[in-house]
A and B are shown apart, each in its own frame.
Chain A
Amino acid sequence: DAGITQSPRHKVTETGTPVTLRCHQTENHRYMYWYRQDPGHGLRLIHYSYGVKDTDKGEVSDGYSVSRSKTEDFLLTLESATSSQTSVYFCAISDSSYSYNEQFFGPGTRLTVL
């Protein structure tokens, strides 16, 4: 299995509080992604990174920000959590964005916003 860890694995928080999720990889892959998985919607891209300090928005980026100060770490921040952000969050990594882009996923973080 690819070396990807996510922390925390579970979190319950209240509306309006800031939350930061961490993704850590040991594969030295260039690309990192944050997805959310919701019933009826499947997995959707939130933000992605194509290098240290290089990030961009995905399909559902509103209310989220990211940072990548080191190759191995990609942080997802909910500035002010809302109930609509209750979801399972997955981090993925890849060493290419094109034809050979095989993505590997972390174990996920289950976030509940009350």
Chain B
Amino acid sequence: KQEVTQIPAALSVPEGENLVLNCSFTDSAIYNLQWFRQDPGKGLTSLLLIQSSQREQTSGRLNASLDKSSGRSTLYIAASQPGDSATYLCAANYGGSQGNLIFGKGTKLSVKP
């Protein structure tokens, strides 16, 4: 069964710290991996999409990496800010006719001022 795991479930850091969120997937035959941010009571905001042929993708202070052989992806957040506090979700796309995403359960990030 294709599964996606995110560890830790929660993380608290002081403002300004660089941090890494982890995502692992059991089946390496992914088409792409997508990172989302979810604020309490809100929908999901797409942050980064990494194609299976890519090693990393960057957007501002965010950098996502992908290592298919080890079944891992990381989301690096530089110089964290209180506004980064949210739940971060990763999701693997295994393609096929449906192309639905297999989600991890998320890492809840709290950045303290």
Q: Does the CB pair A103–B105 fall under 8 Å?
A: no
A105 touches B43 (CB 8 A): yes
A42 touches B43 (CB 8 A): no
Residues in B with CB closer than 8 Å to A103 are: 34, 46, 91, 101
B76 at the interface (CB under 8 A from A): no
* B59 in contact (CB, < 8 A): no
**Binary CB contact string for chain A from 1 to 45 against chain B (1 if under 8 A, 0 otherwise):** 000000000000000000000000000000101000000111111
Q: Are A101 and B43 in contact (CB under 8 A)?
A: no
Is A84 part of the binding interface, using a Cβ–Cβ cutoff of 8 Å? no
B93 / chain A contacts, CB cutoff of 8 Å: 101
Task: Chain B residues near A56: list those with CB within 8 A.
Answer: 97-98
A33 CB → nearest B CB, Å: 6
Nearest chain B residue, comparing its CB with the CB of A59: B100
- B40-70 CB mask vs A (1 if < 8 Å, else 0) is 0011111001011000000000000000000
Is A104 touching B46 in the complex (CB atoms < 8 A)? yes
- Could you say which residues of chain B place their CB within 8 Å of the CB of A33? 100
Interface residues of B in 68-113 (CB under 8 A from A): 89, 91, 93, 95-101, 103-106
Give me the interface of B with A, judged by CB distance under 8 Å. Answer: 31-32, 34, 36, 42-46, 49, 51-52, 89, 91, 93, 95-101, 103-106
| A interface with B by C-beta (< 8 Å) | 31, 33, 40-45, 48, 50, 56, 58, 90, 92, 94, 96-108
